[in-house]
């Protein structure tokens, strides 16, 4: 079975609309997808509608960012209730903070001579949760940098001169936020963000799974994280983290995983549903 449990759309910083993503998933003969936009569930209804006649199983998801001592900790939330008012209000605050941060990056860039307006960034974000990808694309459009990866490498990547961090957000609070919305928390791409030392504490806080099969994980990392998750009685998940054609990383549906990964996640979702 082919499936992909980590995908972005134009509701955050992906390049494909929810409809186009479902069409691409259908083209790629995927059996199941989970859309996991940054700090928003706006794509979930359009994805579900677009997938209705395709036979593709859609799992509701989200990707929330936390920070711990200057490191990013990304937490995926699966089976969150997309209409939970508290959850929606909390995500709204996260998106407001993203907007404020984009404004500060624009100011910093402009002050150094790379003149950019927040409107140029927002036009590219087109209503989606605004992030550094949009700032990067605006920099390219303004002719200030060669391409998106150069923008991250030279200007807005972590540790670069115009990087602005997100407000501190405790990973444990993020796990609680997902639990409050009825979902399962999964630690996203731990091998990319290098947060192995945090895993025991996150498990104590209610972490339900580890994304072992991430597009940017090596085969050894995939095996190690899958073993760790199994040993701790956690779910194993995986996905490409696809952001659209021409973006860095693995293509849609191109991460090989055992069928059991999907089966166990769906079973966990059913247990949650029946407890609701
Ligand atoms: P943000 O959440 O605003 O900090 O932006 C993080 C997002 O930027 C990630 O989810 C990726 O989509 C994108 N990103 C991070 N690093 C790079 C990079 N070096 N090149 C291209 N996109 C990147
Ligand atoms: Zn992204
Ligand atoms: Fe991430
Ligand atoms: Fe992601």
Judged against a pLDDT cut of 90, whether residue 167 lies above it is answered with no
Question: Percent of the chain beyond pLDDT 70?
Answer: 100
- Does the Cβ of 78 fall within 6 Å of ligand 1? no
Q: Return the pLDDT at 145.
A: 98
Q: Whose CA is nearest to atom 3 of ligand 1?
A: 131
DSSP state of 56: -
Following CA atoms 112, 246, 238, 202 in sequence, which dihedral angle do they give, to the nearest 10 degrees? 0
Residues bordering ligand 4, an ion, CB closer than 5 Å = 63, 241
Q: Whose CA is nearest to atom 9 of ligand 1?
A: 133
Ligand at minimal distance from the CA of 249 is 1
Q: Residue 272: exposed, middle, or buried by beta-carbon count in 10 A (0-12, 13-18, 19+)?
A: middle
Q: Whose CA is nearest to atom 5 of ligand 1?
A: 132
Best probe residue, ligand 1, of 132, 164, 168, 189 (max atoms within 8 Å of C-beta): 132
Atom of ligand 1 nearest to the CA of 132: 3
Judged against a pLDDT cut of 90, whether residue 69 lies above it is answered with no
Q: Return the pLDDT at 11.
A: 98
Judged against a pLDDT cut of 90, whether residue 58 lies above it is answered with yes
Give residues with Cβ within 8 angstroms of 45, minimum separation 6: 82
Best probe residue, ligand 1, of 66, 131, 139, 166 (max atoms within 8 Å of C-beta): 131
Q: What angle do CA 151, 194, 231 make, to 5 degrees?
A: 145
Q: Return the pLDDT at 132.
A: 98
| pLDDT digits 0-9 by tens, 128-140 | 999 999 999 999 9
Distance CA(1)–CA(45), nearest Å, equals 24
- Nearest by Cα to 250 from 259, 241, 262: 241
Distance (angstroms) between ligand 3 centre and the Cα of 214 equals 10
Rounded to an integer, the average pLDDT of 13-37 is 98
| pLDDT digits 0-9 by tens, 220-276 | 999 999 999 999 999 999 999 999 999 999 999 999 999 999 999 999 999 998 888
Coil/strand/helix, residue 195: coil
- Does the Cβ of 86 fall within 6 Å of ligand 1? no
Look over the chain and give the mean of its residue pLDDT values, rounded to a whole number: 97
Distance (angstroms) between ligand 2 centre and the Cα of 61 equals 14
Rounded to an integer, the average pLDDT of 159-176 is 95
Q: Whose CA is nearest to atom 8 of ligand 1?
A: 133
- Does the Cβ of 128 fall within 6 Å of ligand 1? no
Rounded to an integer, the average pLDDT of 83-100 is 97
Rounded to an integer, the average pLDDT of 165-194 is 96
Coil/strand/helix, residue 235: strand
Distance (angstroms) between ligand 1 centre and the Cα of 183 equals 24
């Amino acid at each position: 079975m082919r499936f992909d449990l980590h995908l972005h759309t134009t509701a955050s910083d992906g390049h494909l609309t929810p409809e186009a993503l479902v069409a691409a998933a259908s083209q790629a003969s995927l059996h199941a997808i989970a859309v996991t936009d940054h700090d928003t569930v706006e794509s979930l209804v359009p994805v579900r509608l677009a997938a209705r006649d395709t036979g593709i199983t859609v799992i509701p998801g989200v990707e929330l960012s936390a920070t711990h001592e200057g490191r990013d900790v990304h937490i995926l939330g699966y089976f969150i209730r997309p209409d939970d008012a508290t959850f929606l209000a909390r995500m709204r605050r996260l998106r407001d903070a993203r907007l404020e941060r984009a404004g500060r990056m624009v100011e910093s860039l402009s002050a150094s001579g790379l003149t950019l307006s927040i409107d140029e960034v927002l036009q590219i974000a087109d209503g989606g949760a605004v992030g550094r990808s949009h700032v990067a694309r605006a920099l390219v459009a303004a002719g200030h940098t060669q391409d998106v990866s150069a923008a991250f490498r030279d200007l807005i990547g972590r540790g670069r001169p115009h990087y602005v961090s997100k407000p501190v957000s405790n990973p444990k609070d993020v796990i609680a936020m997902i639990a409050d919305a009825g979902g399962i928390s999964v630690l996203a791409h731990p091998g990319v963000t290098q947060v192995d030392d945090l895993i025991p504490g996150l498990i104590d806080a209610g972490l339900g799974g580890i994304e072992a099969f991430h597009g940017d994980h090596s085969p050894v990392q995939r095996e190690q994280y899958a073993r760790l998750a199994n040993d701790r009685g956690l779910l194993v998940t995986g996905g490409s983290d696809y952001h659209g054609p021409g973006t860095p990383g693995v293509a849609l549906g191109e991460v090989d995983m055992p069928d059991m990964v999907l089966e166990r996640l769906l079973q966990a979702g059913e247990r949650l549903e029946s407890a609701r």
